[in-house]
A and B are shown apart, each in its own frame.
Chain A
Amino acid sequence: GAVVSQHPSRVICKSGTSVKIECRSLDFQATTMFWYRQFPKKSLMLMATSNEGSKATYEQGVEKDKFLINHASLTLSTLTVTSAHPEDSSFYICSARRQGGLAGELFFGEGSRLTVL
């Protein structure tokens, strides 16, 4: 079964609104989670590394004020797309590593498809 749960799976919103996406590790604690964005037929682009109890580390070119990440507990990280615009429409996906699992194995959430009208 799924070990990382992501919600919502689909969201449609109006331009200018903010959207929050949750990523939960279901049966393990994740001190680090990763947020990716994927465009159709393109690779997963690492947006940021979410660190429990501290600030997220953003990749170059990713606006931290646009994509707010909060990792308030060992099982939950949230990504908020603020003042969303049509160009923010994409597939957002989170992942986490499980300690004791296969070295380097990432468990992914089911992804969230955002459509901004």
Chain B
Amino acid sequence: RKEVEQDPGPFNVPEGATVAFNCTYSNSASQSFFWYRQDCRKEPKLLMSVYSSGNEDGRFTAQLNRASQYISLLIRDSKLSDSATYLCVVNLYNFNKFYFGSGTKLNVKP
């Protein structure tokens, strides 16, 4: 079983739409959670950490549900520039093991 699973998409949405991605993880000992963004043929970059209480950064909201072992990312008022692949990342063993989901592709269209 994969450590981290995501719906690969693609999610095709119009500008201004709200879109949500979910991600599930298999190891209940997972300690930290993150969303990374990867543009085509580029390296991943940290979008935001995911805290137990949920957290928001502008148009982006991340939630963690430890009981069900999933995390989510909500993007409001989508922009064309939000088009990318969003990677769910789970950390084990206090920052020395990071596992990536396969990514969810988002296409925001005019």
Chain A positions near chain B (C-beta within 8 angstroms): 32, 34, 36, 41-46, 49, 93, 95, 97, 102-106, 108-111
* Residue B14 at the chain A interface, CB threshold 8 Å: no
Known: A32-B96, A49-B97. A44 touches B49 (CB 8 A): no
Chain B positions near chain A (C-beta within 8 angstroms): 2, 4, 8, 32, 34, 36, 41-46, 49, 87, 89, 91, 95-103
User: B11 → chain A, closest Cβ, in Å?
Assistant: 15
6 cross-chain CB contacts under 8 A: A36-B100, A41-B8, A43-B102, A46-B97, A104-B91, A106-B44
Alpha-carbon separation in the docked complex, A49 to B91 (Å)? 13
Q: B43–A110 contact, CB under 8 A?
A: yes
User: B61 → chain A, closest Cβ, in Å?
Assistant: 18
- B89 partner residues in chain A, CB cutoff 8 A: 106
- B32 partner residues in chain A, CB cutoff 8 A: 103-104
Alpha-carbon separation in the docked complex, A104 to B101 (Å)? 16
User: A112 → chain B, closest Cβ, in Å?
Assistant: 11
Alpha-carbon separation in the docked complex, A43 to B71 (Å)? 17
